[in-house]
A and B are shown apart, each in its own frame.
Chain A
């Protein structure tokens, strides 16, 4: 069935469009949260604090990973399977590094007496945890997708059916990257 369903002459592949619309809804979720953040910030009991330095490093890491996944797409299109797999793996590893850095960042905050949850917590810290934590969950979803694609590509003989999955993954990955940049700028300077 799957082949007949996608028989019409579409300019953009339906799965890509599905993804784009899905990204729109993720944007709305973070728009909701960051708006709530602004509203809350203008009210009493707001604790001012600095973002952990580790977040700067993780920003750098995720920026690099956008570059590596773009290389993976390029290699998949060129049919250079070994390099394609290499770039995929590097991207996944950078993703994991980002996760670790973020979690360490939260720990650093807690250590410097900014309680994120619990009775001593202030909603400034809690917001930071929820917003960046949700972003982290989305990124973990991306890492899982990358791992699945890598495993599948290991079994594949040609790269022709690899292009769509990695293109989808790359779109998502760039999105999660951009989302982080937005959040980083927002939390640091705007909000």
Chain B
């Protein structure tokens, strides 16, 4: 068999790639221009942030679950942030804000796109590296510096920014609005600006590499869905992040140069009326959400792409409705730019305009439903292999359905006016974006870990990780829907002082407890990850998942340049599973004479 032969070829060349270049430690691991190493840098930095951000949520859940208790050990760790063993209100807001910022941007954008776009694009389109490996390296280093600055904001005297991840003025525009609005906010803006530059540099490369660097035979409709999803993600990022940047520049002017873009003659306690005139805080919301809504899809689409790929491979069936998957990705990408005001239904939006945004928002349900239908049909009668990656992929679909449905509730302005800024919204976006994308990321890591490190992750730990996280995610966020429906507002420090929310004291404690268990379970994953890099079972075959895509035609541990010899040519789409009696037919296999319908 020809691809058997190719398999042995690859083995012979396994170490070849390593010796070609004379990399020093510094150029190989630190200032690397190899997309695979840059991917790992993004992944590990993202993981560090995920742990920190997760830890923050444990801390503020501790406050919500046990508002009256005092934990002396907290004070010994956090010092003045936990006076008397209780998180202070200032610290609570700082934690919530940093948690949101870090998870949305540093973990689920940089950590997710940065990792998988870098790792998979050249490997799956058949390129030796990105269009500009140098810009790619810069993209990581901008992210790294952004990370350091964001991290340092945790240690300044007045604390990090604490006005929420959306950074609405006036909290973000006035130095005196809160302690976190001083140096903390300056550092937040600088870190975010650098982060935006990092995303842009990454995005330019991803788009160009996909459009321009594909191997022979790799037409656009033969691209794996991962690549399509990463492509749309990059397009969304390149078109929406600059708008956030422009909004932040105006914010910098208001903060530092006395302009009145967002500030007006509002009355500030202890200061009196401001001298600013005519500014509009809502202008910021428009600029923010014009990025903000595409951003949620920037977070979600890579997960969707990987889930599609992993589901097809592990169902041993072609993805159902490839073109429909593409079309719905396209529709989602377009609609993502046309719905931002659904975050602003309570800003006094013109009701007519509001209805237009309701309509456009609800339209997103159509492509979303198409995707769900196609995933389920891909599973239908498949020869399913329940690898941890597959479980996380299926978990993703479940979460996407649950969270998508509540999106339809929120998309109705009339309902949203009641539900806005309540725990219902918190439940919605954590399920549909936070946890779902995290699941996509886990699926990706479990699936491509053998390609990244030449070793396997431990499966048993993977199963434990999945089941506890899956059950935990629903146990944490499902009850929040009820709390939101009962009117419980988000971003409050202590609910125990309201008679009407006293009934939730026990539920809050329950949620907090589960949150801690789920967080602890993630440590299990970290142990599995780092242990397996060094001690995991070695990969001995080129194509452990018997997958059709090109990354599995590289040596087990590919060097810089990916393929020791020629880049393979592609002859078919990536989803020929269970076709004509073959379990799978790699993209590199030429189309046979007697083959039925080819792509």
Contacts and interface: CB of A to CB of B under 8 A. Distances in A.
Interface residues of B, number: 52
Contact of A4 (B128, B208, B241, B290): B128
Interface string B116-137: 0000000000011101110100
A43 B278 contact: yes
Contacts, number: 133
Contacts of A118: 257-259
A117 B279 CA distance: 13
A5 B128 contact: yes
Interface in A126-155: 126-127, 130, 134
Interface string A42-54: 0111100000000
A119 interface: yes
Given A17-B212, A22-B200, A123 B261 contact: yes
Given A117-B253, A134-B249, A10 B132 contact: no
Contacts of B278: 43-46, 122-123
A2 B129 CA distance: 9
A111 interface: no
Given A18-B132, A117-B253, A29 B261 contact: no
A123 to B, nearest CB: 5
Given A14-B213, A39-B283, A28 B240 contact: yes
Interface in A27-48: 28-33, 36, 39-40, 43-46
B243 A1 contact: no
Contact of B242 (A10, A14, A25, A117): A25
A5 B129 contact: yes
Nearest to A11: B212
Interface string B251-279: 00100011111000000000000011111
Contacts of A28: 238-240, 242-243
Contact of B33 (A1, A4, A26, A33): A1
Contacts of B240: 28
Interface residues of A, number: 40
A19 to B, nearest CB: 9
A29 B243 contact: yes
B561 A4 contact: yes
B259 A36 contact: no
B507 interface: no
A127 to B, nearest CB: 8
- 9 closest A-B pairs by beta carbon, nearest first, are A45-B278, A29-B242, A32-B243, A14-B131, A117-B257, A126-B259, A32-B246, A118-B258, A28-B242
Interface of A: 1-2, 4-5, 7-8, 10, 12, 14-15, 17-18, 21-22, 24-26, 28-33, 36, 39-40, 43-46, 117-119, 121-123, 126-127, 130, 134
Interface of B: 21, 33, 127-129, 131-133, 135, 200, 203-205, 207-209, 211-216, 238-243, 245-247, 249-250, 253, 257-261, 275-280, 283, 286-287, 290, 560-561, 567
